[in-house]
Amino acid sequence: MISFAGQCEVGRFCVHCELIHLAKDFEWTGLDVVCLVDCFTGLVKMACKTIKLNTGAAMPTIGLGTWKSKPGEVKAAVETAIDAGYRHIDCSIVYRNEAEIGEAIQSKIQEGVIRREDLFITSKLFVTFHRRVRDCIERSLRSLKLEYVDLYLIHWPMGFHFNPGDVLEMTKDGKPYMDEEIHYVDVWEEMEKLQKEGLTKAIGVSNFNKHQVAEILQSCAIPPAVNQYESHAYLQQDDLLKFCQSNAIVVTAYSPLGSADRPWAKPDDPKPLEDAIIKEIAEKHNKTAAQVLLRYQIQRGMVVIPKSVTQSRIQSNFLVFDFELNEDEMSLIRKQDRNWRALKNEWLYGHKHHPFNENNCE
């Protein structure tokens, strides 16, 4: 990993290549610096370690995912990630582990490893809180022990009845009570207030299709900074990516490794991590399949948030800035797309705001 030991007026010292590089060759993420010049060939690398949001803020292009990371293991995972160089953590009230994530952040701040402003913390408005937007972010901030998050997302466009909170209220026939009267365009207005009041530095959406993003863009005062949706080698959604990028919306790819630990996974489901082409490319670069999958998305201009609670994987998933996929390799991976979705949320298909209702639309 490239890290930096010191700095001088005109440049910074890279402990990897032991050279001083000019400031223009660096991308800063608080304490975290990446050398954009290949230490050995002198070539400028294509991938950046941060990407600029339409707010002007720098968002680290790799973050730690925390869905399914249990209390009892998520604190160690976040601490390992911060020690490995991650500065971006992806959270949500519905993952039910934000309190422990908050403890990990506090312990790393107290150790002097990071300052709050070095971190990029994302959280999300759960579907049962579409009429209680402020309540939801305040709960997350309390758990995370933070005064603000860096990005707050509408988790899904569909609204559901408020129950005690992050649990869906069920009807007698086992269907969740939908709230189709609340529209995400109105929820967005409430999100804008959160940014104006400083509870979040930026706002965005998640699981919104092209049509839904366009609707927000038409009526908003603050445009979304990010759309977070499922994207990996088997679900590339190129149209949606281009649409977002052409509107200055950064895309975060969730489940970038194929979400093998999703609770409904079946043994015969596709597994991007086991793809023969990906493995072959990985071998050529002396990298893992996971690193190739992540690097592919970063080279497409996306942010990735791989989840892991395994120390060695958390560390190795971060090592994606010291190699580059060439055009042939990018094109080979592009051809692996099969429009396969790990998270269809099929049981909620009846909801009129479900983003994938219409023919799995982008």
Binding site residues, ligand NAP, CB under 6 A: 65-68, 90, 155, 206-207, 228, 254-262, 273, 288, 290, 305-310, 313, 316-317, 343
Which residue of the set 95, 184, 234, 254 is catalytic? 95
Minimum CB separation of residue 305 from ligand NAP in Å reads 5
Closer to ligand NAP by Cβ: residue 200 or 207: 207
Q: Is 95 a catalytic residue?
A: yes
Beta-bridge partners for 14: 4, 19
Tokens 């971190």 sit on residue: 119
DSSP 258: -
Beta-bridge partners for 141: none
Minimum CB separation of residue 111 from ligand NAP in Å reads 24
Minimum CB separation of residue 181 from ligand NAP in Å reads 22
Closer to ligand NAP by Cβ: residue 66 or 143: 66
Minimum CB separation of residue 346 from ligand NAP in Å reads 14
Minimum CB separation of residue 69 from ligand NAP in Å reads 7
Of 138, 157, 158, the residue nearest 148 (C-alpha): 138
Closer to ligand NAP by Cβ: residue 11 or 270: 270
Length of the chain: 362
**137 phi/psi in degrees, rounded to 5:** -70, -35
Of 229, 183, 181, the residue nearest 204 (C-alpha): 229
- DSSP SS3 for 126: coil
**Which residues in 112-149 are b (16+ Cβ under 10 Å) and which e?**
eebeeebbbbbbbbbbbbbbbbeebbebbbebbebebb
CB 10: neighbour CB atoms within 10 A? 10
Closer to ligand NAP by Cβ: residue 28 or 316: 316
Report d(CA 13, CA 4) in Å as an integer: 6
Beta-bridge partners for 90: 65, 122
Closer to ligand NAP by Cβ: residue 26 or 356: 356
Residues with catalytic annotation? 95
